[in-house]
């Protein structure tokens, strides 16, 4: 009986020793490890112009109203398709009832439909917008960074961020008196790529109507930053 108890005790001790191995290994992973952060940034041009136009009207007959909106929108689409380099997107279209003063009886219907234009050719889109404002109204004018431009800037920033991280890693290694380092993990994050921002439509409408010269637009740039966050393990002599 006593031999069985001793054997069980040995088994328990062995299991306990095995269970502690992962913890020991985890401690070794963090030996001489340092968390570092490096950044790289650049100015990126907002090279895509986005204009949102709309038509809105009301009528007591919803069918006639829908036909009127469709006719106006189709005419605008036909004009826009004639301009090269402009991407067309039909936005939201909705209608809703108009009630009397007591909010009990429907007296008519109101409908609104949007047309979204995008282009990297600012003068062409500005000119087209001015022409379309004869029949449509402007919701807003936005500027953004085109997908191809964004990818190119991200690729360039990635190289710069890696170089900045390696320089900082070497600096930390030298400060600790290490003979070298290895990267344990490395993560990248970008910020600064803008959501399109709106320019007021009323002023642009006034500038574009009545055969006024096509206004020049300046989209500006955005400062985009890529950060490299990682951990290195310094190898000591």
The pLDDT-based confidence of 104 (bands split at 50, 70, 90) is: confident
Residues 129 and 165 in one domain: no
Q: Does residue 21 lie within any of the structural domains?
A: no
Residues 178 and 163 in one domain: yes
Judge contact between 32 and 235, C-beta under 8 A. yes
Judge contact between 69 and 93, C-beta under 8 A. yes
Average pLDDT over the chain reads 83
Domain of 109, in residue numbers: 48-144
Domain boundary among 144, 175, 209: 144
The model carries a pTM of 0.68
Residues 132 and 187 in one domain: no
For residue 89, with 0-12 CB atoms within 10 Å meaning exposed, 13-18 middle and 19 or more buried, which class applies? exposed
8-state DSSP, 192: -
Residues 126 and 187 in one domain: no
Domain total for the chain? 2
Residues 42 and 87 in one domain: no
170: CATH: 3.30.110.170
Q: Does residue 14 lie within any of the structural domains?
A: no
Q: Does residue 67 lie within any of the structural domains?
A: yes
Query: Is 10's pLDDT higher than 90?
Result: no
Mean of the pLDDT values across residues 30-55? 93
Residues 161 and 122 in one domain: no
Mean of the pLDDT values across residues 73-89? 95
Residues 54 and 39 in one domain: no
């Amino acid at each position: 009986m006593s031999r069985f108890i001793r054997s069980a005790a040995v088994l328990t001790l062995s299991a306990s020793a095995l269970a502690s191995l992962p913890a020991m290994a985890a401690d070794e992973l963090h030996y001489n490890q340092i968390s570092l952060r490096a950044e790289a940034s650049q100015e990126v041009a907002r090279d895509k112009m986005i204009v949102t136009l709309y038509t809105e009207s009301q009528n007591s007959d919803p069918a006639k109203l829908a036909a009127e909106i469709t006719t106006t929108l189709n005419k605008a689409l036909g004009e826009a398709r004639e301009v090269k380099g402009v991407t067309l997107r039909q936005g939201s279209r909705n209608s809703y009832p108009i009630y009397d003063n007591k909010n009990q009886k429907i007296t008519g219907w109101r409908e609104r439909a949007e047309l979204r234009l995008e282009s990297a050719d600012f003068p062409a889109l500005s000119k087209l917008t001015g022409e379309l404002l004869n029949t449509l109204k402007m919701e807003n004018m936005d500027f953004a960074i085109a997908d191809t431009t964004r990818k190119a800037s991200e690729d360039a920033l990635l190289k710069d961020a890696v170089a900045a991280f390696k320089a900082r890693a070497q600096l930390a290694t030298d400060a600790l008196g290490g003979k070298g380092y290895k990267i344990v993990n490395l993560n990248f994050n970008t910020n600064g790529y803008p959501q399109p921002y709106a320019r007021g439509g009323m002023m642009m409408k006034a500038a574009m109507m009545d055969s006024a010269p096509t206004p020049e637009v300046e989209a500006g740039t955005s400062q985009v930053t890529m950060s490299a966050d990682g951990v290195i393990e310094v190898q000591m002599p």
